[in-house]
Amino acid sequence: MPDWTPATWLIAAGRSRVAGDPLNVAPVFASNFYLPADRLYSRTDGTPTSDALEELLGGLEHGRALAFASGMAAVAVVFGRLPVGSRIAVPTDPYHGVAGIVDEGEAHGRWTVDRLDQADTPAWLDALRTCDLVWLESPENPMMTVADLPTICGAPRRDGTLVAVDSTFATPLNQQPLDYGADIVMHSATKFIGGHSDLLGGVLITRDDELYDEFHRRRLLYGATIGAMEAFLTIRGARTLALRLERAQQNALELAQRLDAHPGIARVLYPGLPSHGTHDVARAFMTGFGAMLSFETTGTGERASEVCARAELINHATSLGGVESTMERRAVIAGQERIPPTLIRLSVGCEDVEDLWADLDQALRPS
Ligand SMILES: *Cc1c(COP(=O)(O)O)cnc(C)c1O
pLDDT at res. 63: 98
Percentages helix, strand, coil for the chain (3-state, rounded to 5) are 40, 15, 45
Q: What would the mean pLDDT of 350-357 be, rounded to a whole number?
A: 98
Catalytic residue among 93, 132, 148, 166: 166
Which residues have CB under 8 Å from 347's CB, separation 6+? Answer: 291, 292, 319, 320, 321, 322, 325, 326, 327
Q: How far does residue 283's CA lie from ligand 1's centre (Å)?
A: 24
Q: What would the mean pLDDT of 119-134 be, rounded to a whole number?
A: 98
Count of CB atoms situated within 10 Å of the CB of 313: 17
Q: What would the mean pLDDT of 37-64 be, rounded to a whole number?
A: 97
Whether the predicted pLDDT of 194 surpasses 80: yes
The answer to whether the CB of 168 is under 6 A from ligand 1 is yes
**Exposure b/e, 124-145, CB count within 10 A at least 16 = b:** bbebbeebbbbbbbbbbbbbbb
Q: What would the mean pLDDT of 257-262 be, rounded to a whole number?
A: 98
Q: What would the mean pLDDT of 334-363 be, rounded to a whole number?
A: 94
Which residues have CB under 8 Å from 14's CB, separation 6+? Answer: 25, 52, 53, 55, 56, 235
Active site residue 345: no
- Please give the domain boundaries of the chain with CATH numbers for all domains: 6-238 (3.40.640.10), 242-364 (3.90.1150.10)
pLDDT at res. 69: 98
Q: What would the mean pLDDT of 179-186 be, rounded to a whole number?
A: 98
Catalytic residue among 64, 110, 157, 191: 191
- Nearest alpha-carbon partner for 348 in 307, 290, 299: 290
Whether the predicted pLDDT of 239 surpasses 90: yes
The answer to whether the CB of 95 is under 6 A from ligand 1 is yes
Q: Is the entire prediction scored with pTM above 0.85?
A: yes
Active site residue 43: yes
pLDDT at res. 335: 77
Percent of the chain residues past pLDDT 90, beyond the cut: 95
pLDDT band at 1 (very low <50, low <70, confident <90, very high): low
Q: What would the mean pLDDT of 59-68 be, rounded to a whole number?
A: 97
Digit-coded pLDDT (tens) for 298-342 = 999 999 999 999 999 999 999 999 999 999 998 888 777 889 999
pLDDT at res. 337: 81
The count of residues in the chain is 367
Q: How far does residue 154's CA lie from ligand 1's centre (Å)?
A: 25
Active site residue 34: no
Active site residue 3: no
Percent of the chain residues past pLDDT 70, beyond the cut: 99
pLDDT band at 111 (very low <50, low <70, confident <90, very high): very high
Comparing 16-30, 233-247, 288-302, 321-335, which segment has the lowest mean pLDDT? 321-335
Mean per-residue pLDDT over the chain, rounded: 97
Class of residue 17 by CB neighbours under 10 A (exposed 0-12, middle 13-18, buried 19+): exposed
pLDDT at res. 332: 86
Q: How far does residue 320's CA lie from ligand 1's centre (Å)?
A: 9
pLDDT at res. 244: 98
**Ligand 1 atom closest to residue 72's alpha carbon, by position in its atom list:** 9
The answer to whether the CB of 188 is under 6 A from ligand 1 is yes
Maximum Cα–Cα distance across the chain: 69
The answer to whether the CB of 165 is under 6 A from ligand 1 is no
